[in-house]
Amino acid sequence: MSFTHLHVSTAFSAHYGVSWPEELAQAAHADGATALACTDRDGLYGTVKHLKACMEAGIDPIVGVDLAVFDDDGDHRTQVAGRVVVLAHGHNNGAGYRALCRLVSDAHARTSGKAGGPVPVAVTRAELASRTLHPETLEPVLTVLIGPDSDVGRAMGGRRYLRPRTLFKRWLDAMPPGTIAAEAVTQLSAPGEPYSTAHAVRMLKLAYEHNVPAVLSNAVRYCAEDGAATADVLESARTLKSLPELSAAPMLQPNGQGWLKSAEQMLELGKEIIGAAGYGAAALGTLLAETEALADTCRIDPVLDMGWKQPLVPEASVIGIGGDPLRELSQRCDAGITRRFPGISGQAKERMRSRLEHELAIIGDLGFASYFLTVAEVSKMITGMGVRSAARGSGASSLVNYLTGISQVDPLQHDLIFERFLSGDRSTLPDIDIDVESAERHKVYRMIFKRFGAERVTLMSMQNGYRARGAVRDAGLALGMDDGDVGEIAKQLWRFSARKFREALVEKPELRDFAGRVEAGRGEQGGMEENEQLDMLVDLTERLDRLPRHISMHPCGVILGDATLLDRTPVQPSGLGLPMSQFDKHDMDPMGMLKLDVLGVRMQSAMAFAVREVIRLHPSKAEVVEAGRHPTGPDGTGPDYIFTDGTIDLNAVPLDDEPTYELIRSTHTLGCFQIESPGQRELVGKMAPRDFNDLIIDISLFRPGPMKSDMVRPFLEHRHGFAPEVYPHPDLKPVLQETHGVTVFHEQILRTFDVMTQCGLAKADEYRRLLGSEAEPEVEAIFRREARARNYPAEVVDKVWGTLKAFGSFGFCKAHGAAFAVPTYQSAWLKAHHPEAFLAGLWEHDPGMYPKRLLMAEARRLGIPILPLDINRSRAEYRVERIEGGPERGKLGIRLSLTGIYGLSGTELKRIVAGQPYDSLADLRARARVSKPNIKRLAQLGAFDALHRDSGGAASRADLVHHLQMLQNRPSRKGIELVEGQLALPLGDVELRNLAPELPEPTMVDNVRAELDLMAVDASGHLMESHRPLLDRLGVTTADKLLGLRNGSEVLVAGVRIATQTPPMRGGRRVVFISIDDGTGCVDTVFFHEAQEQSGPLLFGTRLLLIRGTTRRTGPRGISLSASMAWDLSRPETLPLGQNPAAGVGIPEEFTHPGPLDGISRNLAITGLGS
Amino acid sequence: MGIFSESIDVDCTPDGQPAELRWRGLSYVVCADPLRWYERRQWWVEESRAPLGSGAGLVDHEIWRVQLKRSPDPRTREAGDAATEPPLTLDLVRHVGSGRWRLLRIHDAAQSRTAEPDEPAQYA
C-alpha cells in the first residue's frame, strides 16, 4: 500500500519546518508514495522547490498552505483562532492554484510588511469560504482541513464535548458544501493531550457524525526522527523563548513524532485510532481511502495548473505597440543608430549593420522581442526621471541594448560577443541588469508599478538562511545561555558555514579559546563545575545551518508579468510597502517569470550628488572648467561634455583623460568604484593602467578565479616586458593580443574554440559552459578532433586545451568588465578633477567598502578642510563650501551634515533646516523644538561654537555642555511664549553670553570621542593622534613612510582597523587581509597561517591593532606588510614596550590614558567589522 | 538531573507489546491492553550532545502503561494469593535506541510502593 502525506511543512516554513523539499520528496518516493503535499506555514515559500523536487523524484506534487484563521468572536483584526491546512485541487487549468495564491495574498494583505507588526498573517473565515469555489463553475477548487491546530482541535482538551461540536458546526455553516474535511492526527502523545490518539478519535467521530470526510495525516515537520530536536530549537527561535521556558509553558511539540512516517507506520496509526474509536476494520479502509481520494483530487499538473516554465511577459499593448514586436524592435534600433553612431559610413557602417541583423535574427528566433522592448521601456522610463542608470553584466555585449539605450557600452568598440549574452542554443530569458542611483531606487520601483500596473508587477523576495553567527546566537537563546557570552562567541565566527562549526573549532586560531572552553565543559557530568552546555551549543548551531529564517525584499529583483501575474505568485507587503512575491530568484525560471534586476548603486548616487555640487558651486561652464582644470580646447571654451550652466554629462566624458589615469596609477583610489579595495590598490599599483581597456582588464583580473589560479603574475610580466609574450599559435594572436597572450576573458575562450574548430560562437559558448562539468570530456574530444582536422599540431592542441580546461573555474566576461569599468573611470575622473564634491558625494551616500571615517581621513590627506558641524551652516546633507576667512580662505571645504547624528530624529532635523538661521539657543528651542538631550549632543559636537563666539561669551564648550546637562536634569517647564505680533528683540544669545567660564575647553580626545560616539566619524582630528606618544615609544612606522623602506624590512605599524577580508586562496589555506589606517594612509597587511596562529582572537575581535610584519614591495607605488604578530593597542600592558626600567613600575600614564575609542561600542560603523 | 529508575525484564508479543515481565523477583503477566504513548524529554539538560544524525529517542521516550497480575506459581500451577490481588499498574519506559526497559511510575496507590532509585537511567 502507499500513503499520501497531505500536511507537510518544509524548511521554508521559517522557524518551523526542518527538512528541505528534496529530502522529503525523495523519502516519500522511496517509501512508495506517488504524491506528496507541501503545506508551508503562511505562504507558498517552498512550493516551487517542492514542485521541482517532486518532478525529480517522479511523484505528483500537491500544493497547499497552513494558515491562521481570524477568530470570528474576537477582535477581527488581531485575534486568531487556530490554523487550518488549505489544499488546492489540481487538473482544473489552474483554478485551484489560482485560488490558493489569492488566498495567501489575502492573508498577508493587512500586515505591515515589518517584523512584529500588530496584525498577524491570517484570513477571515469569510475570505476562506469565498475562495473555495471556482468563480464561474462554482465547483470546489480548495479543500480546508480542520485538524488538531484548528479552533476545533484546540477545544478538545479536558472533557468539553459541546465546544468542539459547536465550533465544527460553525465551519459547516460557513463553508460551501464539499470544501472541508477533518484531519485526524495522532502523534501518540500522552492520553488526552493535544496530538493524542484520543483527540484524533474525537475529530474522526465529529466528522462522521456530520457526514464530512476525514483524512489521516501526521502534521509533518521533519523528514526523519532526527529532525525533532531541530524543530525544538526552531520553536525557540520563533518565540524568542529558551527551551526550558517553552518546556514549562508548555509550548513545545508534545514529543518528537512529527516526521514523515512510512505508509506502514501510518497504517499502524490508522489502526490505533480506529481501534480506540471502537470502529471495525471497514472504517480503517474508509479513512485511508478518503485520504487517498483527496490526494488524487489535489494532484497538480505543473504545466497546466501552475504554468511551469511558461513565459509570462507584459502584453504588447502595455509596452505601447500594436504590431509585430520584432518589427517594432528593429525600428527602434534604426532610430538609435543616428544617436549612437552619428555619421557612420562605409565599412564601419556595414560591420555595424550586419551585427545588428545578426542579433535581431537570434532575438526573433527565440521570440524575445517583447522582452527587449519591455526592458527598453523601463530603461527609457528611468532616464526620463532624470536618474542615472547603466546596464551591467553580459547585456553590454548586445548592440541592440546599446542602440535602444539599455546599455552604455559600445560592443563593437570593445569587441564583445553577442553569443555570450544570448544565442539560439539557449532558451532561457537572458538577464539584463540595470544599475540606478541607490537613493532613487525606490522611486524607480514605484514608477515601474505605475507604468505597468500593479497587477503586472511585484518585487522579488529572497530567502535569508542561517549563517554561523545567527545560528550560534539562536542556539544560545534556545539553551538559555547568557546573551553577552553568546555574543562574544558569535563575534569570533568568521565566514564559515554553521555546519562546519565543530571542524572550525579544531582549525581556526580565533576559536582556540572557545574550543578550550568546550573541552573543559566536558568534565564529569554533574560535577562541581557548572555545565556550560557548550558542546550542545555547537551541535545545535550545526543543526540550524542554512535553514531559512525569513524572506525579505531582494535588493534588486522586480518581476514583470501580464495581468495574470498575481494568479501565479502570492504576494505580501515588503518593508517598502510595495507588494513582494513569495518566490525567490530560484523560482523565476521554473515559473517562467521575467525578472528585471534594477540595482541601486550608491556610487551612481554619489556621482550624481557630486555633479550637482559642482554646478551649485560653479554655476557656469567657465567656472567648472577652471575649478576642474579641464582642457580648454582649441577655442578656449572648454569641452562639450560641460554645458553652459555648468552641468557635466558624465557619460559623455571621453575615456582618455590623462589626470584620471595618473590618479589611478598613484593607488590613491580610496572611494573609486571597484578599485579601492586593498587588493585592487595593490593590483593597479602593479599594473599601472594607461587606457580604458587596461581598466577593463584590471577589473576582470581582480576576481577570485584569476587571483586564485595565478593568472595575474604572468600577465604582468608580459605586460611590463619582463618576459616575452608567447602565443600557442599565430592564429590565436589576434584573440589574445590585448592581454599579452594570457587568457582572461570568456570572449577569448569563445574565439579560441571558434578559431581552432570553426564551431561558430554560439556553439563555442555552449562548450565554454560545459568546461568543468561532467560533460567536459566530450568537449575535449570534439576540440581535439576538430583542431587536429584543421592541421593544428598535436602539441599546440595539447597546450590550448590545457588553457581551456584550466579556464573552467575562472575567467570573466569582458562585457561585465566593460560595464563595470565605466563607473570606475567616471568616479576616478571626479576624484581627479573635483575631489571636494566627489568626497562630499561619498560621505553622503557611503558607497564603498570602508567605514566613512576612512574617507574623512582621505580628505585630510588631500588637504581638504573638514568644516565642523554648525547649527546655522550644516544642512541635512554634506555640502562643499568656500571658506570665507582664516588661513584657508578661498579653499573649498566640506561641511559636516546634521544627518546621522545619534538620537536626532528625522523630524527634528527637518525643523532645524527649515528654521535656519538661528540667533540663539532660545530661538532654536522655540522654532525647531529640538529635544534637550539632542541640544546637548549638538553642543558636544561643537554645533553652537560659532553662535557662542558671536554672542561674546567667554565660557568653554565644556561649560555649555555642562549647562545643558543641568537643564536636561531639571523638570521641564513651559517656556515663555512670545505673544503673537511681538517681535523677539535681536539681543543675540543672552544665555550663551552669560554662561560663566569655569571649565577648560574639552580636549581633542574628548571631542573626537563625542564625534565617534554620536556620528561614528573622527572629524576634528584623527583618532590615532592621541596614541602618538605610545606609538613613538613603540617605534612604529607610519603608512606614508613605508614606501621609502626596502623590501623585507621588519617594522611595527599601528592603526584602526578599516577592512578585514578572507578571500578564497590557492591551496585552500585561509589568508586574512587586515587593513589599518593610521592617519597618514592605509597599511594593508596579510596574515598567513603562522601569523593567524600567533594572533588568535585578535584577528577579528580588535579595533586598534599593533602589527609586526615584513614589508613586501608590490610595485613602484605599492607596498604591503606580511604580518607575523598582532597586539591589541587598547591593552597597553600586553604591548612589547621593551624592558621596563624596573619590575613593578607601571606603564607611564601618557601611554595608558583612554583614547577616543574608549567606551565606544559602534564597531561596525567605525571599523567595518560588526560584532 | 536524570530519571532514576529500576531496570525491568520485559517479554513482548511479536508486534512489540509487553506481555510478561519480572520485577523484584516476581513474574507478572499483562492482563489488559496496554497503553502506549511518547513523552518528551528535557534532552537539552539530560544530554550533553545532540549532533545531527542522533536519530530516534533524543526528544522523546516511549511510555507503556501496563496492568499486571502475578503469574501463576509454576510449581503449584495455582494462582494462589495472586488471584485475589488487585491488578498492579505500572508506567514503563522503553528506550528507543537500546530497547531496554525501565520502571517509571507505580500507579497503584494501595500498594504505596515507590520505585526506589538504584542507578541513574542512561539514555545516551
- Closest CA of chain A from B16, distance in Å: 12
- d(Cα A1001, Cα A693) in Å, to the nearest integer? 55
Interface touch B56/A226, C-beta < 8 Å: yes
- d(Cα B13, Cα B20) in Å, to the nearest integer? 9
Interface touch B38/A257, C-beta < 8 Å: yes
Inside any domain, residue B122: no
Share of residues in chain A with pLDDT > 90 (%): 66
DSSP string spanning A297-347? Answer: HT---HHHHH-TT--B---TTTTT--S-HHHHHHHHHHHHHHHHSTT--HH
H, E, C per residue of A442-502 = HHHHHHHHHHHCCCCEEEEEEEEECCHHHHHHHHHHHCCCCHHHHHHHHHCCCCCCHHHHH
Question: For A820-834, what is the mean pLDDT?
Answer: 96
Inside any domain, residue B2: no
Nearest Cβ partner of A535 from B49, B55, B56? B49
Q: What is the pLDDT of residues A235-257, one digit of tens each?
A: 999 999 999 999 998 899 999 99
Interface touch B48/A522, C-beta < 8 Å: yes
Q: Quick one: cell of A404? A: 535602444
User: Residue B10: its pLDDT value, please?
Assistant: 93
Closest CA to A1123 of A1053, A1062, A1063: A1053
Helices and strands of chain B, counted as H and E runs: 1, 7
Most distant CA atoms of chain B, gap in Å? 54
| Interface check A540 vs B, CB under 8 A | yes
Identify the residue with better confidence: A478 or A1170: A478
User: Residue B75: its pLDDT value, please?
Assistant: 61
Interface touch A255/B59, C-beta < 8 Å: yes
pTM (2 d.p.)? 0.82
Q: What is the pLDDT of residues A1038-1048, one digit of tens each?
A: 998 998 899 99
B40 CB neighbours in chain A (<8 A) are: 247, 252-256
Share of residues in chain A with pLDDT > 70 (%): 95
Q: What is the pLDDT of residues B50-59, one digit of tens each?
A: 999 988 889 9
The answer to whether residue A675 scores a pLDDT higher than 90 is yes
The answer to whether residue A319 scores a pLDDT higher than 50 is yes
Nearest CA in chain A to B40: A255
Q: A896: which DSSP letter? A: P
Interface touch B55/A226, C-beta < 8 Å: yes
Report the b/e string of A658-686 with b at 16+ CB within 10 A.
ebbbebbbebbbbbbbbbbbbbbbbbbbb
The answer to whether residue A33 scores a pLDDT higher than 80 is yes
- d(Cα A588, Cα A313) in Å, to the nearest integer? 12
Single-letter residue type at A40: D
- Closest CA of chain A from B21, distance in Å: 23
- Pick the range with the lowest mean pLDDT from A597-601, A771-775, A798-802, A1084-1088: A771-775
User: Residue A1019: its pLDDT value, please?
Assistant: 92
B53 CB neighbours in chain A (<8 A) are: 226
User: Residue A974: its pLDDT value, please?
Assistant: 52
3-state helix, strand, coil in chain B (%, to 5): 10, 40, 50
Inside any domain, residue B52: yes
User: Residue A70: its pLDDT value, please?
Assistant: 94
B39 CB neighbours in chain A (<8 A) are: 189-190, 255
Report CA dihedral (A872, A874, A875, A877) to the nearest 10 degrees. 180
The answer to whether residue A142 scores a pLDDT higher than 60 is yes
Q: What is the pLDDT of residues A501-557, one digit of tens each?
A: 888 888 888 888 888 888 887 765 444 345 568 899 999 999 999 999 999 999 889
User: Residue A136: its pLDDT value, please?
Assistant: 95
Interface touch A189/B39, C-beta < 8 Å: yes
Interface touch B43/A525, C-beta < 8 Å: no
User: Residue A524: its pLDDT value, please?
Assistant: 53
- d(Cα A1087, Cα A1076) in Å, to the nearest integer? 13
Interface touch B50/A542, C-beta < 8 Å: no
Burial class of A482 by CB neighbour count within 10 A (0 to 12, 13 to 18, 19+): exposed
Interface touch B59/A256, C-beta < 8 Å: yes
Interface touch A257/B44, C-beta < 8 Å: no
* Average pLDDT over all residues of chain A: 90
User: Residue A134: its pLDDT value, please?
Assistant: 96
Phi first, then psi, for residue A514 (nearest 5°) are -65, -45
| Interface check A539 vs B, CB under 8 A | yes
Inside any domain, residue B51: yes
Phi first, then psi, for residue A885 (nearest 5°) are -145, 180
Question: For A304-320, what is the mean pLDDT?
Answer: 88
Interface touch A188/B40, C-beta < 8 Å: no
Domain that holds residue B83: 7-111
- d(Cα B91, Cα B111) in Å, to the nearest integer? 15
Interface touch B38/A189, C-beta < 8 Å: yes
- d(Cα A814, Cα A816) in Å, to the nearest integer? 5
Inside any domain, residue B123: no
B59 CB neighbours in chain A (<8 A) are: 228-229, 232, 255-256
- Closest CA of chain A from B18, distance in Å: 16
Q: What is the pLDDT of residues A622-653, one digit of tens each?
A: 999 999 999 998 888 899 999 999 999 998 89
Nearest CA in chain A to B45: A533
B93 CB neighbours in chain A (<8 A) are: none
| Interface check A191 vs B, CB under 8 A | yes
User: Residue A244: its pLDDT value, please?
Assistant: 95
Closest CA to A277 of A196, A204, A168, A184: A204
A257 CB neighbours in chain B (<8 A) are: 38, 60
A540 CB neighbours in chain B (<8 A) are: 50
B42 CB neighbours in chain A (<8 A) are: 243-244, 247
User: Residue A228: its pLDDT value, please?
Assistant: 97
Nearest CA in chain A to B49: A536
Inside any domain, residue B28: yes
- Pick the range with the lowest mean pLDDT from A521-535, A563-577, A938-952, A1070-1084: A521-535
Grid coordinates 615584513 are at which residue?
A1110
Which chain B residues touch A if contact means CB-CB below 8 Å? 35-40, 42-45, 47-60, 63
Inside any domain, residue B42: yes
Interface touch A189/B44, C-beta < 8 Å: no
The answer to whether residue B115 scores a pLDDT higher than 50 is no
User: Residue A289: its pLDDT value, please?
Assistant: 97
DSSP-derived 3-state class of residue A259: strand
User: Residue B117: its pLDDT value, please?
Assistant: 38
Nearest CA in chain A to B64: A190
Structural domains of chain A sorted by starting position, each given as residue range(s) with its CATH number in brackets? 21-306 (3.20.20.140), 325-439+453-463+552-598 (no CATH), 467-546 (no CATH), 604-826 (no CATH), 860-1015 (no CATH), 1025-1167 (2.40.50.140)
Inside any domain, residue B18: yes
- Closest CA of chain A from B103, distance in Å: 17
Nearest CA in chain B to A246: B42
B55 CB neighbours in chain A (<8 A) are: 225-226
DSSP-derived 3-state class of residue A785: helix
Burial class of A928 by CB neighbour count within 10 A (0 to 12, 13 to 18, 19+): buried
Interface touch A247/B54, C-beta < 8 Å: no
Number of domains in chain B: 1
- d(Cα B96, Cα B115) in Å, to the nearest integer? 21
A542 CB neighbours in chain B (<8 A) are: 51-52
- d(Cα A1035, Cα B86) in Å, to the nearest integer? 91
Q: Quick one: cell of A904? A: 536626532
- Choose the mutation target among A265, A525, A531 for the interface with B, i.e. most B CBs under 10 Å: A525
The answer to whether residue A986 scores a pLDDT higher than 80 is no
Where residue A74 falls among pLDDT bands split at 50, 70, 90? confident
Q: A355: which DSSP letter? A: H
H, E, C per residue of A826-893 = HHHHHHHHCHHHHHHHHHHHCCCCCCHHHHHHHHHHCCCCEECCCCCCCCCCCEEEECCCCCCCCCEE
- Pick the range with the lowest mean pLDDT from A117-121, A564-568, A796-800, A869-873: A117-121
3-state helix, strand, coil in chain A (%, to 5): 45, 15, 40
Checking ipTM against 0.90, whether it exceeds it is: no
| Interface check A244 vs B, CB under 8 A | yes
User: Residue A896: its pLDDT value, please?
Assistant: 96
- d(Cα A572, Cα A138) in Å, to the nearest integer? 27
